Amino acid sequence: MIRIVIPCVWILLNYIYVSGQTTSGFDMTQQDINDLDTAFTPLNEVIIYENRLQIPFAEQNRNINILTREQIKTLPARSVGELLTYLPGVDVRQRGPWGGQADIGIDGGTFEQTMILINGVKTSDPQTAHHNMNIPIPIGAIERIEVIRGPAARIYGINSLTGAINIVTRKPSNTTYEITVNGASSFKSNEEDKGIYHGRGIQLGAGWANTSTNHLIYGSHDSGNGYRYNTPFNNNKIFYQGNIENSRKGIWDFMGGYTFNDFGANAFYAPPNDKEAREIVQTALAAIGYKIQMNDRWKFNPRLNYRYNHDDYRYNQHDLNLFRNLHNSHVINTELNTTYTTTIGVFGAGLEMRNEFLRSSNMGDRERNNYGLYSEYRTDIVNNLSLNLGAYVNYNSDFGWQVYPGLDVGYDLSSSWKLYVNTGTGQRIPSFTDLYTNGGGNIGNPELTSENAWHTEAGIKHSSEKWFLQTNYFFREINDFIDWTRPSVNENWTPYNFLRNRTHGVTFSGSVWFNNKETSKWLGSLAYTYLRPEISSEFTNDQLSKYAIESLRHQLIANLAFTSTHFSFSIAQRFVERISYRNYFLTDIKVGYKHNSYGVYFDANNLFDITYIEASTIPLPGRWFNLSLNYLL
């Protein structure tokens, strides 16, 4: 009861205080007015930028969730992984705070089955999806996060078996400079008698823009002594994005980033004997693309991107002879996308070539090539009816030919209500770790084949300037599901294609903008996900499983946010129950005050100091406080 009463009293007091103020007492600047007017952008105004078709959010025939920049500002999060915990259906398995290491699943899928993208550029790591979230993006550079739930092979290709998460970065419209500094602590004593556990960080950003070009650059540094024994962290990121229009009215897109993470990995991967483990990860990403409208009907968009990842895992940082893995992965991805508009609809097509290389002290030298062909068609020539269909044809040098079709249909009941149904397929190619790892209690299986999924869902949604409501039911079947198993605790873990995974799911998400006055705005949101997985196995004997029984069962996320000229406040409640873990209920709050270009923000995560686990046997931080100072010019 106290978990509910205290936040409600706080909200009521904040509302009474703000409502009692007059405009004349605020010292409002024009910038304050502009910031307030753009707060809580209605979702139906957002365009979902897929790699070919560009469809407004309100017209999508898929289950899509969005976290906007305005919402991000109100959340008590310091990394992309922490932001994703507030999105429905997204299962975040963190092994520590501040973005050190996290695995992301969607609607009961594993972390290997989720595609992560930055502005449509794939960041998947061929070594292991444990590294997919090694992304060089400080929070200040993010415009929004889009989550497409369900197989997305015909949109994004391989490894988007249960869905895709696309992080869209900002495009500045004027010149801005920003600096944020923060300090945080649990105020609990360090186990090594070195004071209290704490962290600190700094973020710097700048944007420039004129009529034909814009540039954005952000960098951040976070470090601290952790939250329990051997969990110190040192995380650094730098990110650049640029858009330049040439004389032919084409636009060059440039993107680059680098991240360096060094953290203690106590019990991260091989508990209980890896108490002294440490991991150092470096990731670089670069992309160049060109968009041009050839004529009134034809758009053309080639793109080339490169990703490098260095992983240095030390089982015992004090004795490197015990066990050490060094991996270097390289991915070169070439794409050519085009759309052609006709009187009967829009046709999209794409070609893709992906080259993956691994140089590893544990798995040797490995490489493989992937070639893909996309085809899509969208039409709304029938009144109130919209149709999207397409297919992805894939050839992999290790796994041969595969075809993945998909179909989305929507019917407009009115200008704001839509019925939709979709069905689609997807696949996940085994990682090099699945196939070849050898050591640390894990033995790969080079005989693995790819996982294949079929998914169908039906739902209804309402989208307007004030309200967004969406509810749906889905069924997904994954054949040749890859799970790591062992017959006893004394044996090595080994992956096999021996499972069939069927999942029934019901989801609901809703948000409302209310009390929209000139000097204040409120946003409330609620989301619920229920999953019922069913697993059948070819094995008759008992096997210990790593991933098959870790699915979400219940997830509830509620958030209430308030923004005025000078004050902001938000409270988020999260309930999570997984099949193989104890459930937990978390409360997070954030309070802010802004005056002209200066802002001060205080947030508390896990306000009631709940003990909980998201992955392995790793207890995550209890109550954690953070104080931030921001200057925006």
What is the pLDDT, as a whole number, of residue 2? Answer: 39
The helix or strand, by DSSP H or E, that contains position 154, with its residue range, turns out to be helix 153-156
Number of Cα atoms under 13 Å in the Cβ half of residue 412 = 15
291 touches 253 (CB < 8 A): yes
Look at residue 25 in the predicted model and tell me its pLDDT: 32
Q: Which of 31-35, 455-459, 519-523, 547-551 has the lowest mean pLDDT?
A: 31-35
Q: Domain residues of the chain, as ranges?
A: 2-632
- The yes-or-no verdict on residue 349 having pLDDT over 70 is yes
Q: Computed over its alpha carbons, how large is the radius of gyration of the chain?
A: 24
pLDDT (average), residues 428-445? 90
- Could you tell me where the DSSP H helices lie in 420-529? 432-436
Tens-digit pLDDT profile for residues 263-272? 998 888 877 7
Kind and range of the H or E run holding 16? helix 2-19
pLDDT of residue 98: 74
Q: Which of 169, 155, 157, 152 is nearest to 205 (CA)?
A: 169
CA distance 64 to 292: 27
Residue 291 has pLDDT above 60, yes or no: yes
Query: 37: helix, coil or strand?
Result: helix
Please, is 10 exposed, middle or buried when counting C-beta atoms within 10 Å of its C-beta (0-12, 13-18, 19+)?
middle
Contacts for 28 with CB less than 8 Å, ≥ 6 apart: 519, 565
Distance CA 291, CA 253 (A): 8
Residue 14 has a pLDDT of: 39
Asked if the model's pLDDT at residue 20 lies above 60, the reply is no
Three-class DSSP category at 487: coil
Q: What is the pLDDT of residue 377?
A: 95
pLDDT exceeds cutoff 90 at 383:
yes
Contacting residues for 621 by C-beta, under 8 A, at least 6 apart: 97, 186, 227, 605, 606
Confidence band, pLDDT 50/70/90 cuts, at residue 582:
confident
> Residue 528: left (phi > 0), alpha (psi -120 to 50), or beta?
beta
Q: What is the spatial distance between Cα 500 and Cα 410, in angstroms, rounded to a whole number? A: 30
- Confidence band for 18, pLDDT divided at 50, 70 and 90: very low
For Cα atoms 516, 519, 524, give the angle at the middle one, nearest 5 degrees. 40
What average pLDDT does range 592-612 have in this prediction?
94
* pLDDT band, residue 236 (cuts 50/70/90): very high
Tens digit of each residue's pLDDT (9 = 90 or more) over 539-574: 545 677 777 667 899 999 999 999 988 999 999 999
Structure tokens at 292: 């041009």
pTM for the whole thing?
A: 0.90
Span 209-213, average pLDDT: 92
In the sheet with 114-118, reading across from the earlier edge strand, the strands are 63-68, 142-149, 163-169, 114-118, 121-122
Which residues make beta-bridge pairs with 505?
A: 474, 531
pLDDT for res 343: 93
List the one residue out of 197, 195, 235, 202 whose CA is nearest residue 218: 202
> In angstroms, rounded to a whole number, what is the distance separating the alpha carbons of residues 389 and 375?
8
The span from the CA of 128 to the CA of 332, in Å, is 16
Q: Looking at residue 41, what is its pLDDT?
A: 55
Residue predicted with more confidence, 5 or 210: 210
3-state DSSP helix/strand/coil percent for the chain, to nearest 5?
Answer: 10, 60, 30
The predicted pLDDT at position 249 comes to 79
Q: What is the pLDDT of residues 484-499, one digit of tens each?
A: 888 887 788 899 987 8
Is the pLDDT assigned to residue 302 strictly greater than 80? Answer: yes
Share of the chain above pLDDT 70, in %: 90
The predicted model gives 177-188 an average pLDDT of: 94
User: What's the CATH architecture for 2-632?
Assistant: Beta Barrel (2.40)
Encoded tokens for 27 = 């010292």
The number of beta carbons lying within 10 Å of the beta carbon of residue 460 is: 14
What is residue 390's predicted lDDT score, i.e. its pLDDT?
94
The answer to whether residue 581 scores a pLDDT higher than 90 is no
Torsion from C-alpha of 619, 620, 625, 627, nearest 10 degrees: 140
Interval 78-136: pLDDT, tens: 889 999 999 999 999 888 667 778 899 999 998 899 999 999 999 989 999 889 899 99
- Exposed/middle/buried for residue 207 (C-beta within 10 Å: 0-12, 13-18, 19+): buried
Mean pLDDT (the chain, rounded):
87
Residue 431 DSSP label: P
How far apart (Å, rounded) are the C-alpha atoms in residues 228 and 621? Answer: 8
What's the CA dihedral at 40, 41, 43, 47 to 10 degrees?
-150
